[in-house]
Amino acid sequence: MPTVEVADLKDDDCLLDVREDDEWQAGHAAGALHIPLSDFVARYGELTEAAPQDGRVHVICRSGGRSAQVTMYLVQQGVDAVNVDGGMQVWAASGRPVVDGKGEPGHVL
């Protein structure tokens, strides 16, 4: 499983959040693309439109389980994708900004 640490992410990296809507609304990384795991296959085209042509997709969820599933799917599709180790829990614990659905300070569910 290709994996990356939160500390290794840069601000301009493509970040795909696969958590569900309630989790996203409570708190997410600003600038992340949100496609819930439950809708992922149906909305796959949104990722292909938003992701950088030759760039890497960094997949994140709450702790790493759901994002691991999506990362494996993307790799099978030929996408350069990596799972963000520890997910949004580590993101928040590392002091990275978390915003809610209104752009205000948020929290990780």
Is 14 an active-site residue?
A: no
* Strand order through the sheet with 81-84: 3-4, 81-84, 57-60, 14-17, 33-34
Indicate the residue type of 97: P
From 61, 68, 82, 90, active-site residue: 61
Q: Are 57 and 105 in contact (CB under 8 A)?
A: no
Signed CA dihedral, 91, 97, 101, 104: sign only: positive
Catalytic residues: 61
